[in-house]
Every structure is written in C-alpha cells, then in structure tokens.
C-alpha cells in the first residue's frame, strides 16, 4: 500500500514489568489491522517500556487507536500514549554521517547523562540510542551508559574523543568511542 494512504502513529506503553505485555499490545494492534514498522522495548528497574511506530490504512484516527488500545493497557495497568506522526516523520533518519558507540563507565554521580549529552548536542551530534544502568559491585555502584550517535559529516570519532576528554577527567569516568558498522536489512 502506498505510504500516502497510511496514517502513522507513535505508541508508547509503560508499566510494571510482567510476561505478556508485548504479546498483549501486539495482538491488539494486529486485530486492528495495524503494522508495526519500528519498535523498542526495554525493562528499566521493575518497569517495562515500549515505543512503537505503527501504520494503519486511512481513514483512521488517533482517537480510534486510543479507544481500541485503552482496554488492553488498562487490563495490564499500563500507561498509554499515542502521537500522530505528520507525513515523513515516520521515516528513520540515521542516514549520512558515521554512527559511533560511546561508552561511559565510572562511579555513580549526578550529571553524567546531562554533561555527556550536552557536550554532544553542542556539536550537533544526534543521539539515536541511549541506555544506562547502575551496577552494584561491592561497596561502590558503577554507572554504565551506552550511546549510539550519528556524527555530522564534519566530525570524526577522534573529534568526539577529543571533545569528551576534558569531561572524562572532570567526572573521573572512562569514556570510549568507536565506529559502528550498520547492518543493512
């Protein structure tokens, strides 16, 4: 079906983790005739979060989608959010430039995420994925952050390492940058 005959939505569901969340939401979307184009699901502490980019043949409204998914999300005690995507916004944008992975390890302290991401944003480096976790190891928990970032054509991974060098010293964390070779589907 041509893309201009589809409505696109970002659907997010968040709530206490338990088996069956993905299956329940996927079944409801399938029953409605929706197609899941892109998704990310993860467990954070005891919470489960999923965000989906879905499409449905027009005419179909955000209100219809919300009303159809509401019973499923309520039955699982999940919070549901839906946003209509204007034409073109449903497409992935990580084209051009190199993708690099940035890892940050160190003692847990406020401001790591802000300081690293603010430095990247100041150079127009787009974060396309970010995960962080506090790992209990002995008496000192270790904070781990993994980023994937899309570099502008004018910036190399070496530039990113140099950009973050001062921050590495200031926060007393380990920061590594490496190229990611994207896998084509």
Q: Quote the pTM value.
A: 0.76
List 55's β-bridge partners, or say none.
8, 35
Distance (Å, rounded) from C-alpha 51 to C-alpha 43? 12
pLDDT for residue 143: 94
Q: 138: Cβ–Cβ under 8 A, 6 or more apart, which residues?
A: none
The CA distance from 155 to 102, in Å, is 14
Angle at alpha carbon of residue 184, lines to 183 and 185, rounded to 5°: 115
| Beta carbons of 76 and 69 less than 8 angstroms apart | no
pLDDT value for 71: 94
Q: CA 34, 129, 49, 62 torsion: positive or negative?
A: negative
Residue 138 has a pLDDT of 76
- Tens-binned pLDDT, residue by residue, of the chain (185 aa): 566 688 999 999 999 999 999 999 999 999 999 999 999 999 988 999 999 999 998 888 899 999 999 999 999 999 999 999 987 766 666 556 789 999 999 999 999 999 999 999 999 999 999 999 998 877 888 999 999 999 998 999 999 999 999 999 999 999 999 998 666 65
Residue ranges of domains in the chain, CATH in brackets: 3-85 (3.30.70.260), 99-180 (3.30.70.260)
According to the model, what pLDDT value does residue 122 have? 94
Q: Which residues neighbour 174 within 8 Å (Cβ) at sequence distance 6 or greater? A: 103, 104, 105, 106, 168
Q: What is the pLDDT of residue 95?
A: 58
Whether residue 160 contacts residue 121, with contact meaning beta carbons closer than 8 Å, is answered with no
């Amino acid at each position: 079906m041509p893309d201009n005959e589809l409505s696109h939505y970002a659907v997010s569901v968040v709530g206490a983790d338990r088996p069956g969340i993905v299956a329940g939401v996927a079944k409801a979307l399938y029953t409605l005739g929706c197609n899941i184009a892109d998704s990310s699901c993860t467990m954070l502490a005891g919470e489960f979060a999923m965000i989906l980019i879905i499409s449905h043949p027009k005419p179909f409204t955000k209100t219809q989608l919300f009303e159809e998914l509401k019973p499923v999300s309520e039955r699982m005690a999940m919070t549901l959010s839906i946003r209509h995507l204007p034409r073109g916004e449903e497409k992935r944008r990580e084209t051009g430039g190199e993708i690099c992975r940035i890892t940050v390890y160190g003692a847990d302290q406020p401001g790591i995420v802000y300081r690293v991401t603010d430095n990247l944003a100041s150079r127009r480096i787009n974060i396309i994925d970010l995960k962080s976790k506090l790992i209990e190891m002995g008496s000192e928990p270790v904070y781990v952050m993994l980023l994937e970032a899309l570099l502008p054509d004018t910036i190399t991974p070496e530039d990113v390492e140099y950009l973050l060098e001062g921050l590495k010293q200031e926060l007393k964390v380990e920061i590594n940058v490496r190229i990611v070779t994207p896998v084509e589907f």
